[in-house]
């Protein structure tokens, strides 16, 4: 008969959706502490503020294919933190507008309301989270896992460690743990640049969201057209992953100029009238669909990992990975 495992103290690294979901599902079974390097929760479900302008500069919207994810979302919809974005949608082939139709009710395109980061805020409310705590080293000693949170500060020991940070950041900490290193090493995340444009006057575009093919940008949305947003007109442009990966270390101004020109060329509008212009670099934005397990568990070391990168670069994938991991860990309690 195997040794009974008593899970009492669990550390989770990362307060993006996957970290928040795994922590919430585990918290009635264990003492869970989440460590997050930034000042707030939500990870890539992020919002950037610039005066009167707001930009969801990471994830744009999400769909819910599984019944399990729809059940999870219902209380967030009821609380007014998630809503269906019924955008006027378009597709461009380079600068040719090829399709236009409205997104309807039959297949909701959800967004956080009034901002994408509202979801992380709500999900983190009743969790034990240490913010501004970048984990810089992990070590497994006789009493369990001890984490270093910068400047030599060490945590109390934990029985289990759950990594809920992107693959490369997880790999950097997991160097001494061959199984997790190998699992991360098989998954390569892709970069993306986000261009944020704020306008003093309304701009005339015949759509709210546009997918772009055959250009260096892949997506443009009128951020301010999402439900419950303010009236200041904001536009969000994403580069393609391949263009970002080829230009990740370029000067930010050069990236901004190129994306601004490309967005103007594609739409046929002079977007240089924007009074606010800013670029954000996402080094680990996205990942193609993965085969293999949806999460990672190393029972011998009591080490686990989850995140979108185990499945594919989608919000629902982050949820799936975290839920599968939580179910597997609960079964071990
Ligand atoms: C530009 C862009 C566009 C996207 N568009 C869409 C879309 O339209 N639809 C969709 O479904 N998905 C989209 N995604 C993907 C979606 O955002 C992710 O799939 C999802 O948010 C991932 O959640 P996660 O919890 O796995 O990871 P993350 O959200 O990345 O969370 C990881 C957390 O770990 C923290 N962290 C990292 N290292 C450490 C450390 N050492 N110590 C402490 N904390 C650490 C980070 O700060 C972060 O908060 C997009 C992402 C980007 C960047």
Q: Which of 13, 44, 286 to mutate to test the pocket of ligand 1 (most atoms within 8 A of CB)?
A: 44
Cβ of residue 112 lying under 6 Å from some atom of ligand 1? no
Cβ of residue 17 lying under 6 Å from some atom of ligand 1? yes
Distance separating alpha carbons of residues 108 and 96, to the nearest angstrom: 27
Buried b (16+ CB within 10 A) or exposed e, 146-165: bbbbeeeeebebbbbbbbbb
Distance separating alpha carbons of residues 324 and 88, to the nearest angstrom: 35
Query: What's the gap in Å between 114 CA and the centre of ligand 1?
Result: 19
pLDDT tens string for the chain (333 positions)? 555 556 589 999 999 999 999 999 999 999 999 999 999 999 999 999 999 999 999 999 999 999 999 999 999 999 999 999 999 999 999 999 999 999 987 789 999 999 999 999 999 999 999 999 999 999 999 999 999 997 778 999 999 999 999 999 999 999 999 999 999 999 999 999 999 999 999 898 999 999 999 999 999 999 999 999 999 999 999 999 999 999 999 999 999 999 999 999 999 999 999 999 999 999 999 999 999 999 999 999 999 999 999 999 999 999 999 999 999 999 998
Eight-class DSSP state of 330 = H
Please give the full DSSP string across 152-203, using - where no structure is assigned.
T-BPPPBSEEEE-S-HHHHHHH-TT-HHHHHHHHT---EEEEEEEEEESS--
Cβ of residue 194 lying under 6 Å from some atom of ligand 1? yes
**CATH code of domain 46-116+190-286:** 3.90.660.10
Report the DSSP pairing between strands 209-213 and 88-93.
parallel
Find the helix or strand (DSSP H, E) in which 96 lies: strand 96-102
Helix, strand or coil for residue 124? helix
Domain boundaries, the chain: 1-39+131-186+290-333, 46-116+190-286
Distance separating alpha carbons of residues 123 and 82, to the nearest angstrom: 12
Report the DSSP pairing between strands 9-13 and 31-35.
parallel
Residue 7 has a pLDDT of 55
Residue 162 has a pLDDT of 98
> Looking at ligand 1, which atom is closest to the CA of residue 192?
1
Find the helix or strand (DSSP H, E) in which 76 lies: helix 67-78
Residue 4 has a pLDDT of 55
Report the DSSP pairing between strands 129-130 and 31-35.
parallel
Cβ of residue 15 lying under 6 Å from some atom of ligand 1? yes
Within 10 A of 225 (CB to CB), how many other CB atoms are there?
18
Distance separating alpha carbons of residues 112 and 83, to the nearest angstrom: 6
**CATH code of domain 1-39+131-186+290-333:** 3.50.50.60
Q: What tokens does 19 get?
A: 């970290």
What pTM was estimated for this model as a whole?
0.96
Query: What's the gap in Å between 177 CA and the centre of ligand 1?
Result: 23
Cβ of residue 85 lying under 6 Å from some atom of ligand 1? no
Q: Which of 46, 172, 313 to mutate to test the pocket of ligand 1 (most atoms within 8 A of CB)?
A: 313
**Residue 44: cis peptide before it, omega within 30 degrees of 0:** no
């Amino acid at each position: 008969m195997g040794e009974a495992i008593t899970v009492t103290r669990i550390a989770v690294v990362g307060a993006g959706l996957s970290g928040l979901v795994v922590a919430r599902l585990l918290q009635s079974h264990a003492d869970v502490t989440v460590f997050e390097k930034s000042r707030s929760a939500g990870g890539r479900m992020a919002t950037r503020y610039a005066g009167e302008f707001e930009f969801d500069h990471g994830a744009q919207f999400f769909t819910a294919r599984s019944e399990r994810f729809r059940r999870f979302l219902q209380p967030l919809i009821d609380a007014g933190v998630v809503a269906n974005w019924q955008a006027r949608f378009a597709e461009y082939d380079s600068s040719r507008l090829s399709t236009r139709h409205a997104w309807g009710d039959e297949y909701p395109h959800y967004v956080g309301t009034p901002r994408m980061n509202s979801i992380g805020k709500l999900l983190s409310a009743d969790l034990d989270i240490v913010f501004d705590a970048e984990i810089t080293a992990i070590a497994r000693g006789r009493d369990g896992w001890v984490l270093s949170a910068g400047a030599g500060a060490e945590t109390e020991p934990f029985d289990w460690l759950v990594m809920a940070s992107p693959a490369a950041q997880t790999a950097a900490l997991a160097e001494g743990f061959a199984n997790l290193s190998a699992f991360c090493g098989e998954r390569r995340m892709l970069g993306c640049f986000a261009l944020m444009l704020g306008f003093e006057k309304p701009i005339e575009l015949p759509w709210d969201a546009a997918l772009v093919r055959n250009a260096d940008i892949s997506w443009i949305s009128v951020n301010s057209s999402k439900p419950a947003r303010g009236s200041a007109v904001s536009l969000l442009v994403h580069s393609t992953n391949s263009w970002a990966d080829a230009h990740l270390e370029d000067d930010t101004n050069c990236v901004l100029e190129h994306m601004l020109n490309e967005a103007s060329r594609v739409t046929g509008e002079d977007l240089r009238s924007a009074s606010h212009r800013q670029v954000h670099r996402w080094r680990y934005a996205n990942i193609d669909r993965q085969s293999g397990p949806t999460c990672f568990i190393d029972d011998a070391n009591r080490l686990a990992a989850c995140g979108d990168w185990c499945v594919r670069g989608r919000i629902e994938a982050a949820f799936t990975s975290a839920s599968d991991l939580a179910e597997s860990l609960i079964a071990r309690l």
